Structure 1
Amino acid sequence: MALDTDITRRRALLAGGGTLAFGGGVAYLASRPDSNSSDETYIPETSNRSDETTGFGAELAGRPIAGDLDAPIDVYYWTDYLCPFCARFEAETLPRLGREYVDAGTVQFVLLPYPNIGSYSMEAMVWSLCVWDVVADETPAAYWNWHHRVFERQSDAESNSDWATADAFATITDETTDVPLADVEACREERSQDIQDSIQGDLALGQSAGIQGTPGFVIYNREADAAGRIVGAQPYDNFADAIEQVRNA
């Protein structure tokens, strides 16, 4: 699968012109698994909070971040817990990507909400951001355990959307070590509307960068102000090639 070699500036990407869409325009690999997949759970070695608005325009306040805040490359990951292709990325590509780029200090990996699949997509993202808010300072690994348990629950379900209910998310939260359900519920009760309002900014940024569904990714070189876009559950090699192209821009 050939990769385009033209790296665009951030401004061009957000303006919709000259965009770099890695992966030869193939959006989803629904029938070809990644030969390097391991079906393991990835828990980052380092997680951080940040209140920064990055050069790309991503507002990081309240958003889960894996990796070193000083990493030269940002990977923005727009996701939806009801998205089956996101579950595929999480199982097949993220573990190796995390080990070789995030834990190595090359990539700061930022999870951004893009609720677009079902009626509970937005509420699922409120759960996610409340869990992060509750545990990020003391036990950030608990957030990633929770995050992966949600995708595992989706993968085990007979339907891609019917499984997603308040009861299901409460059960996952209650069963995840170091994630206090009462505190997460309090966050949902007190901050749900504010969180939903903030998610509109994530949606707008993704859409301005050409992200029309999930999973969607932008790879951004902070120093060079260079960026590229990946659409869909691409295999590890496509991500590695894209990161290196943007890194060397």
Structure 2
Amino acid sequence: MPQSNNKKNIAIVAGVAVAAALLGVASYTATKPADSSPGGTVKEAAAGAAPSAEAQAGVYPELEKLARRDAKDPLAQGRADAPVVMVEYADFKCGFCGKFARDTEPGLVKKYVDEGVLRIEWRNFPIFGADSERAARGAWAAGRQGRFWQFNEAAYAEGAKEKGFGEDRLRELAEEAGVKDIGRFVRDAGSEAAKAAVKKDQEEAYGLGATSTPSFLVNGRPISGAQPDDVFDQAIEAAAKAADSRGNQGKGSGKGGSE
């Protein structure tokens, strides 16, 4: 059994290594969203790498596998079996992340998450120092009490990041988010488990070549920066269509199934 697990881990690492090779020279530049398009820079990075038809369309199966689809994940929203998963790598000190959270994400939730089409999986990707790290651990701790998305909204409110994310401020945000046990929140935020969870997400993002926030993967299609709403709409709808096509092909290619 351990040998089987080792082989599985090696396969996952190999897949991510391929993705990192493809994405390593791509710039996830949040400060220039207008310069990016879903998968555009990745295609340039993959030039000469004999990419598949999916890769040529800006979609990478290696990246799609990073969706965890854990039904009990408190840092995710939407059905675990939704046809489209958007992985979001973000930092609470990031102004463009806040813009996305306030201006774009609510519409995506209403249009796609509530309809069962989209699942959003958050990854803490603190890159702006100690304040970012504290906020990330605080968000994780709020999630332990089922209030991650409420904490997310409070931390990304207009003017919130300018107040910093010191210990007292994190408690204020937790209270605003409706976290019931503040004592537990404080303990959880300072725990080794919180540090490990944040580090895991952070290393995943760095391993993909991400260098700034926000960065997104929509069923394996990279999107960089706080792009206009229609960029996300197009990526999600294309991913949903592709997922539906794959599903129909699977149904039609079964062998020996019972009637």
- Normalized against structure 1, the TM-score is what? 0.69
Q: Is 1:13–1:209's contact at 8 Å kept on the other side of the alignment? A: no
Q: Residue 226 of structure 2 aligns with which residue? A: 233
Q: Distance between the aligned counterparts of 2:67 and 2:198, measured in 1?
A: 11
Alignment of 1:67 onto 2:78:
yes
Secondary structure class of the residue paired with 2:209? coil
The Cα shift of 1:242 comes to 1.3
Q: Is 2:76–2:119's contact at 8 Å kept on the other side of the alignment? A: yes
Q: Residue 206 of structure 2 aligns with which residue? A: 207
Q: Is 1:126–1:195's contact at 8 Å kept on the other side of the alignment? A: yes
Structure whose CA Rg is larger: 2
Secondary structure class of the residue paired with 2:110? helix
Q: Distance between the aligned counterparts of 2:171 and 2:199, measured in 1?
A: 24
- After superposition, the C-alpha distances for 1:6-32 in whole angstroms (9 at most, x for unaligned) are xxxx7686243289x8xxx8743579x
Q: Is 2:85–2:218's contact at 8 Å kept on the other side of the alignment? A: yes
Q: Distance between the aligned counterparts of 1:217 and 1:55, measured in 2?
A: 11
Q: Residue 180 of structure 2 aligns with which residue? A: 179
Q: Distance between the aligned counterparts of 2:29 and 2:213, measured in 1?
A: 13
Q: Distance between the aligned counterparts of 1:82 and 1:134, measured in 2?
A: 23
Secondary structure class of the residue paired with 2:86? strand
Q: Residue 117 of structure 2 aligns with which residue? A: 106
What is the aligned-residue identity percentage?
23
Give the letter for the 2:105 counterpart.
L
- After superposition, the C-alpha distances for 1:79-138 in whole angstroms (9 at most, x for unaligned) are 111111110001111111111111111111011100001321111111111110122xxx
Give the letter for the 2:172 counterpart.
T
- Show structure 2 runs of 5+ residues with no match: 1-14, 35-62, 243-259
Q: Distance between the aligned counterparts of 2:178 and 2:167, measured in 1?
A: 19
- Measured on the aligned residues, the alpha-carbon RMSD in Å equals 2.9
- Tell me how many residue pairs correspond in the alignment: 197
Q: Distance between the aligned counterparts of 1:218 and 1:181, measured in 2?
A: 33
Q: Residue 217 of structure 1 aligns with which residue? A: 216
Alignment of 1:17 onto 2:10:
no
Q: Is 2:140–2:148's contact at 8 Å kept on the other side of the alignment? A: no
- After superposition, the C-alpha distances for 1:141-197 in whole angstroms (9 at most, x for unaligned) are x43222211111xx315xx566221111111212333432122113234xx222212
Give the letter for the 2:119 counterpart.
Q
Higher share in strand: 1
Q: Is 1:76–1:219's contact at 8 Å kept on the other side of the alignment? A: yes
